Amino acid sequence: MENRVSKEKAYKLLAVQMGLSNSKAKELIDRGVVYVGNRKVAIARGELPVDTKFRVVKMGRPEPIFENDEVLAVNKPAFLTSDEAAAPFGGARLLHRLDRETSGVLLLAKSKSFQKRAEAAFKARAVYKVYSCWVQGIVSEPMTIEKPIKTVKKNGIAYSKVDRRGKEAITHIEPVMISGNRTKLRVVIETGRTHQIRLHLKSVGHPIIGDSQYGVPSAQTNRMLLHALELKLLGYDFRAKEPKGFDVFAGG
């Protein structure tokens, strides 16, 4: 006689195991911080054995980098949306956004005059943006990727693709460190298309490690290894230190 393993929806199991409400458990899975072993639980309503043991990654808090009467810069941790990272800082208004799993420099305007000038700078491409990331494969020389990007939304989720009918997108990459079959890159973008860095790197055969949408999830990290390192505009220069996970591949 066949033995059937009893199963239940992942969010319900997590709720019972962690003493959470079903809605909170589903939110954590959707956020991407729930794991079974080294594998991320991707579908909250997916069924798992009832004896499954979960691990929940602890989320950090946004740390102020600089603040004055017109601007606030924070170091956004991974797993928070830009709106969530901005929420603790009162009436300051977001000037741009980072993907949920991307950490680093996030700017908020504290005055309407600065907001207007900053938005004009972003529109005019008068903003210098540097990112740090780890990618699969060996990148031995700098390169510039110029491939137009078209973004579509399906079921409320944005997805970008290289398309000749898309908008201009320019990404400059430079290798910083090679470890095994992985490379740490310094990335400078001239344009800010949705998922630009992630898509451009995938398009040249070097997806970002941990990127479950455009690359392949990695058992060696619980997040996408992309960090907004520096942002310059209107005479300001903001820098956010890399999180500890960014030296995970150093030395081997």
Give me the residue spans of the domains in the chain: 7-56, 63-247
pLDDT score for 1: 45
Using CA atoms, how far apart are residues 170 and 68, in angstroms rounded to an integer?
Answer: 32
pLDDT score for 11: 87
Using CA atoms, how far apart are residues 130 and 128, in angstroms rounded to an integer?
Answer: 7
The continuous run of DSSP H or E covering 45 comes out as none
pLDDT score for 250: 54
3-state secondary structure 36-77: ECCEECCCCCCEEECCCCCEECCCCCCEEEEECCCEEEEEEC
pLDDT score for 219: 65
In this structure, are strands 226-233 and 103-109 parallel, antiparallel, or unpaired?
A: parallel
Please give the DSSP secondary-structure letter assigned to residue 245.
G
CATH number corresponding to 7-56: 3.10.290.10
CATH number corresponding to 63-247: 3.30.2350.10
Using CA atoms, how far apart are residues 118 and 71, in angstroms rounded to an integer?
Answer: 10
- 209 φ, ψ to 5°? -65, 130
pLDDT in tens for each of the 252 residues of the chain?
A: 455 779 888 888 989 988 889 998 888 888 878 888 877 887 888 899 888 999 888 878 999 999 999 999 999 999 899 999 999 998 899 999 999 889 999 999 999 999 999 999 999 999 999 999 999 999 999 999 999 999 998 877 788 999 999 999 999 999 999 998 999 999 999 998 999 999 999 999 999 998 988 987 776 777 899 999 999 999 999 999 998 868 766 544
Active-site residue set: 99
CA dihedral 92, 97, 102, 104 (to 10 degrees): -50
The reply to whether domains 7-56 and 63-247 share a CATH topology is no
pLDDT score for 249: 62
What are the DSSP E strand ranges found in 50-169? 55-56, 63-67, 71-76, 93-94, 103-109, 128-136, 143-146, 149-154, 157-162
Using CA atoms, how far apart are residues 71 and 95, in angstroms rounded to an integer?
Answer: 10
User: What's the token pair of residue 163?
Assistant: 């398309």
pLDDT score for 109: 97
Using CA atoms, how far apart are residues 33 and 79, in angstroms rounded to an integer?
Answer: 7
List the beta bridge partners of residue 227. Answer: 103, 132
